[in-house]
Amino acid sequence: MWPKGVQNQINQAFLLQPSRVVTLEYLWLTPIGSAKSRERPFATRALSPEPRLVSIRAETLHRMRLDNCRYVALAVFTRKYETDTNQQNADKTAWAESIGCDLAQACDVLSTNGVHTVLLGSPDTGVSRVPRMLPRLSEFAKFGGPTEVALASRCEYFWADGVGAWWRSVPFRRPVLFTNSRPVDFHHHQHPPVFTMVLPMRLQSQSGREFTLREMLENPGLRKSAARGGDVKAIRNTSDEVAAANREMLARIDGTWREEGSIRALQIRAAEVFADFPQYVNLLIPSDFLAGHPRFLD
C-alpha cells in the first residue's frame, strides 16, 4: 500500500504529464517514512499542453462562456477543505484562511482590464466566499483533477491566496502571484522558474512592533510562531494591497509597467536585503506594498 505522500506526488506527476509518460524530472520525490520532503526540483523545460488537456480546457472554457477570453486562475485557502481532507493542516494554518471580501476589489481590477477571474479548487464556502459572480471550477469539475491543470496551463497568471496549489501552472511557464503569503524565505529549490511576485503578510510582536524583512529572513521561527498563534501576530493584506498587487502583476505581464525613481529605489533596497541572505531567492515584492510600509525595509 502506497504511503499517502508518495501516492499524492505520483498523482500530481500524472496530472502534469498526462501522456502516460511520467519523467522523474516532473516527479517531486517524498522519502518513505519521513514527514518532510526532500528538495523538490522544478521542471527545467516548459511543457506544451498535450491534446487531451487542450480539449478539456476548450470544453470547460466554453461551458464557462469564456471562449477566447483572458483569465487569471485564483486558488483560495479554505478551512473547510483542510478540515475535510487534511485536519492537521487545518489546525496549524487556520490563521491563513482566505477572506473573500478582501479579494473582490482585485477581481474588479482584473475585470476592468478585460481579464476574468476563475476560481479553482474547492467551493468558496464561509468567510472565503468571494462576493462576485466568478466562474467556479467546482461547478464544472472535481478539485485536483485534470480540468484544474488544463485551466492553469493557459491562465494569464496563477493567483494563489495563502495556498500552495500554484505549482499546477509552473510546467506551462505561467507567472505566479502570491498574496497573503506566509513565507518570504524561499530557498532556491523551492522557487518556481517563472516570473513570480510575492505580497507578504506582515508580522507583529505582542508590543505592536512590526518585524522588518531582514528580521523575518534572519528568524524563520517568527512565521512559525504566527502560524501556531504564539507571540507573533500575522497581519493580513488589505483589499487595496491585494488589488494593487494584481494591478502591478498585470501591467508587468502586459509590458505597461513603469516605475518612478522612488519606487525603483525601494526595489533596490529590498534586493540589497535579500542579497545578505544568499540561501534565499530575491523575491519581487509589489511596489505599492513597499511604498505603504517603508519600515518593512529598515
DSSP annotation of 74 reads: E
Nine-digit cell string for 295: 519600515
**Counts of helices then strands in the chain (DSSP H, E):** 11, 7
| Among the listed residues 172, 138, 218, the one whose alpha carbon sits nearest the alpha carbon of residue 18 | 172
What pLDDT score was predicted for residue 29? Answer: 34
Residue range(s) defining the domain that contains residue 281 = 67-297
What pLDDT score was predicted for residue 31? Answer: 35
- The reply to whether 223 falls in a domain is yes
Q: How many domains does the chain have?
A: 1
What pLDDT score was predicted for residue 169? Answer: 81
- The reply to whether 212 falls in a domain is yes
- The reply to whether 202 falls in a domain is yes
Nine-digit cell string for 167: 505549482
Each residue's pLDDT expressed in tens, for the chain with a length of 298 residues: 334 444 444 444 444 444 443 343 333 333 333 333 334 444 445 667 778 888 889 999 999 999 999 999 998 887 776 677 666 665 655 556 788 899 999 999 999 999 999 998 666 667 778 888 899 888 877 666 778 888 888 999 999 998 866 777 877 888 999 999 888 888 876 676 788 999 999 988 888 888 899 998 998 777 777 666 678 888 899 999 999 999 999 999 999 998 888 889 999 999 999 999 999 989 899 999 999 998 999 8
**Are 237 and 199 spatial neighbours (Cβ–Cβ below 8 Å)?**
yes
| Among the listed residues 195, 140, 142, the one whose alpha carbon sits nearest the alpha carbon of residue 172 | 195
